[in-house]
Structure 1
Amino acid sequence: MVYVDYSATAPMSEYAIETYKDIAKRFYGNPSSPHNEGTNAKQILENARRMIAHCAGVVPEGIYFTGSGTEGNLIAILSIARANAQKGKHIITSAAEHTSVHAAMNTLEQEGFQITRLPFNQNGQVSIQAIREAICDETILISIQHINPEIGSIQPIEQIIKLAKKYQIRCHVDCVQSFAKFPLESFASKVDAMVFSAHKVGGPKGCGAVYIHPKCKASLLFPGLTHEGGLRGGTVDVPGIAAFAVAAIETKEQTNLSHLSTLRNKLKELLADSPYQFVEAPNEVQYPAICGMQIKGLEGQYIMLHLNERGIYISTGSACDANSSVGTKAIIAMGYHIDEARQFFRISFSSQTTSEDIKKVAEGLIEIVNCTKSMEL
């Protein structure tokens, strides 16, 4: 088996699994309970909060644990937008954001907010000039994803935050694909909200976190809840959160961007004489572990199914969009035709991926081309 679908999810690390088991057995109390067992669980929870904050480069007071990155995006966007609605009801985002961001925007539109959804340029980025031109007196929030999960383009978050600060606009960044895998230090302390997901970094599914700057005004979505500062209800999953924290630290320590770049270059080298094309950004704004690709005349679904038969696991875009007719928003946002979008597929790997894995992927892709040629003859 060759697993190269890390943008969809990463296998849970052994350290995270052992941590989950240990905490579940030894610290089973409800962290909201006032007795010793609850206090012990509370200490584990707060230690994990500090670990996640340290990994992100922010203060622990701004970290709130959620059930997923999706929930984190919904909480951050809705709570910040509603809290600042008296100033205005205009929000800027991109056309290629995660499904959860679009869901939050759709909800706000029903409440009278105006949403500007900007396209990507040929680099797979949102243009700073386009954002500048979209800003108006009513603009209260800019929401842009750090690393696109489909083509791996890195957005100019520092410039976006600088622009937002100039006009006193709140800024939310979806960091699900970058947290613990790519440096956030350049903007983490300046942003108003960020979102992370455990299963992208080797932690358990059903666990995530949202960071909201302590000075950022945010409304409670459901007033009266008591857990996680009132932002999210429900008994906190202490074992899952502890596993999330150790997985994040482990991933940050093990991630080797140079190794990832080497793997990417090897794949491109092995496919140099093939008709496959990479849908990518320039090297300086490209996360190397995500390879958006396409081949003229073949649908990404066909590529995925053929490789699946060989025990090679890729995707045709974001797993959260797997049931859509296209499967990807990024290249549509870049101006590609819908038929070209259907030809899209994605290979994504991690620091645990080997050169041999990449070689097998390339061999599988080349076999598809050869089989197709044989069928045409």
Structure 2
Amino acid sequence: MIYLDHAATTPISDKALEVYVNVSKHYFGNPSSMHDEGSSAKQILEASAKTIAGTLNARPKDVFFTSGASESSFLAIYSLLNSLGEESGHLITTPIEHSSVRNLFLKLKQEGYEVSVVSVNEYGEVDFEELKNLVREDTVLASIQHVNSEIGTIQDLARIGAFLHEKGVMLHSDCVQSFGRIPIDVQTLNVDAISLSSHKIYGPKGCGAVWMNPKVEWKPVFPDTDNQKKFKPGTADVPTVAAFATAAKLITQNRVTEQHRILKLREQLLAELTKLDYEVVVEQHPREYVPNILGLRFPGIEGQFFMLECSQAGLAISTGSACQVGSEKPNKTMTAIGKDEQEAREFVRLSFGKENQMEQIPQIIEKMSGILKRHFEKVNHHKKKEGMTT
């Protein structure tokens, strides 16, 4: 199987797995315990926070570990809203957020908040003028993802955040797809909280992180009488956190080289795809995109069908965000950027990682070409048959 679905999840790296096993065996203590075993575990937890903070140009004390990005976004957004001391106000988000954020805003709407959804253009870029017009006196928070998980568009968070901060509006960003792929400097990004995920960067599943802006007087969702700044309750999963930090260090160290390599691979694959006798449409921003995410449409073939045929042929691709796969509804990012229902259903996503090599491209092209050939031959045969009967 050639794996082309790294935006959904990545295999854990050998180094991260080695760290996980080592810490599990030798540093099993509860980091809240006062004895030496607990102190050793706490030191690893603190070192891991320092490592993650180093990748963000942040202070370790502002990094908090969670069970994953979905929990990160939930806790971060509620912690920011809790700082206001009110349970109402106006919120802004986009139509192309990950389902975890989108569903959270539905919950907030039910709780009494008013929610506006800012449009995106044909490339998935937030309409900045519309955003400016949406901000009101009672607007308190916006959540805008850094990189779209389906077409890879990068939002200009620094510009968006600067404007929102001028208006006194807090900004949360889902940085799951940008972390390790493009630079994230929380000192210049103009955000108040970001969500990260371990399993998207060759770390273990079940782990994520949040950075909270120390300039905001956030309040935790679950108050702790002993520690008012404890982000979440529970015993920290030290081995998983240590493996996540290891993966984060590795991916950020190799980021420039690896993303350049993936860009070359992407360009070569696209060059070969366009040589085929079938139309291929690339769904991407002309300039602001991450190279590891490639959104495609092959007009005339349903994405779900193409994905299943690829799986049979030994190619793992997707029809979009893993949390949306299997839904009967057309792809939300596609409809948000102006595609009709049929075009939205044609969408497939390829997302590249360190296992993907140039030598795989001929196999990928051969398998995809065979699927397209069989499909369109069958379509043309049915058309001829229908023409003869009428």
> TM-score if structure 1 supplies the norm length?
0.95
Q: Classify the secondary structure of the residue corresponding to 1:103.
A: helix
Equivalent residue for 1:260?
A: 262
Whichever of the two has the greater Rg, that structure is 2
- Unaligned segments of structure 1, at least 5 residues: none
Displacement of 1:227: 8.2
1:280 counterpart = 2:284: yes
Q: Mapping of 1:74-223 within 5 angstroms?
A: 74-84=74-84, 86=86, 89-185=89-185, 190-223=190-223
Q: 1:348 to 1:156 in 2, by over 3 A?
A: same
1:328-366 per-residue CA deviation (whole Å, 9 max, x = no partner) reads: 321111121222211111000024421122332222221
User: 2:361, 2:215 → 1: CA distance?
Assistant: 46
Q: AA paired with 2:35? A: H
Q: Classify the secondary structure of the residue corresponding to 2:33.
A: coil
Equivalent residue for 1:337?
A: 340
Contact 2:146 2:178 in 1 (8 A): yes
User: 2:270, 2:231 → 1: CA distance?
Assistant: 45
Contact 1:300 1:316 in 2 (8 A): yes
Larger mean Cα displacement after TM superposition, 5-14 or 53-62: 53-62
Segments ≥4 residues shifted beyond 3 Å: 85-88, 186-190, 224-229
Equivalent residue for 1:69?
A: 69
Q: Mapping of 1:220-259 within 5 angstroms?
A: 220-224=220-224, 229-255=229-255, 256-259=258-261
Q: AA paired with 1:367? A: G
Contact 2:30 2:38 in 1 (8 A): yes
1:308 maps to which of 308, 311, 317: 311
Contact 1:57 1:188 in 2 (8 A): no
Contact 1:57 1:189 in 2 (8 A): no
User: 1:169, 1:98 → 2: CA distance?
Assistant: 21
Equivalent residue for 1:357?
A: 360
User: 1:269, 1:321 → 2: CA distance?
Assistant: 29
User: 2:51, 2:215 → 1: CA distance?
Assistant: 21
Q: 1:189 to 1:129 in 2, by over 3 A?
A: closer
Equivalent residue for 1:367?
A: 370
User: 1:266, 1:245 → 2: CA distance?
Assistant: 33
1:37 counterpart = 2:41: no
Displacement of 1:172: 0.7
Displacement of 1:105: 0.9
Larger mean Cα displacement after TM superposition, 101-110 or 38-47: 101-110
User: 2:361, 2:35 → 1: CA distance?
Assistant: 53
User: 1:358, 1:208 → 2: CA distance?
Assistant: 33
User: 1:323, 1:195 → 2: CA distance?
Assistant: 25
User: 1:225, 1:332 → 2: CA distance?
Assistant: 46
Q: Classify the secondary structure of the residue corresponding to 1:126.
A: coil
1:97-129 per-residue CA deviation (whole Å, 9 max, x = no partner) reads: 011111221121122111111221012111111
Q: What is the percent sequence identity of the aligned residues?
A: 36
> TM-score if structure 2 supplies the norm length?
0.92
User: 1:122, 1:102 → 2: CA distance?
Assistant: 20
Q: 1:362 to 1:81 in 2, by over 3 A?
A: farther
Q: How many residues align?
A: 376
Q: AA paired with 1:259? A: R
Displacement of 1:30: 0.3
Q: AA paired with 2:194? A: M
User: 1:188, 1:8 → 2: CA distance?
Assistant: 28
Q: AA paired with 2:60? A: P
Contact 2:118 2:130 in 1 (8 A): yes
Q: AA paired with 1:63? A: V
User: 1:121, 1:336 → 2: CA distance?
Assistant: 11
Q: AA paired with 1:268? A: L
Q: Classify the secondary structure of the residue corresponding to 1:363.
A: helix
Contact 1:316 1:327 in 2 (8 A): no
1:207-235 per-residue CA deviation (whole Å, 9 max, x = no partner) reads: 00011112212222122376894321221
Equivalent residue for 2:47?
A: 47
Q: AA paired with 1:245? A: A
Q: Classify the secondary structure of the residue corresponding to 1:91.
A: strand
User: 1:126, 1:188 → 2: CA distance?
Assistant: 19
Q: 1:351 to 1:102 in 2, by over 3 A?
A: same
Q: 1:105 to 1:154 in 2, by over 3 A?
A: same
1:14-36 per-residue CA deviation (whole Å, 9 max, x = no partner) reads: 00000000000000000000111
Contact 1:317 1:327 in 2 (8 A): no
Q: 1:372 to 1:148 in 2, by over 3 A?
A: same
Q: Classify the secondary structure of the residue corresponding to 1:319.
A: coil
Q: 1:205 to 1:193 in 2, by over 3 A?
A: same
Larger mean Cα displacement after TM superposition, 161-170 or 12-21: 161-170
User: 1:56, 1:215 → 2: CA distance?
Assistant: 16
User: 1:327, 1:374 → 2: CA distance?
Assistant: 25
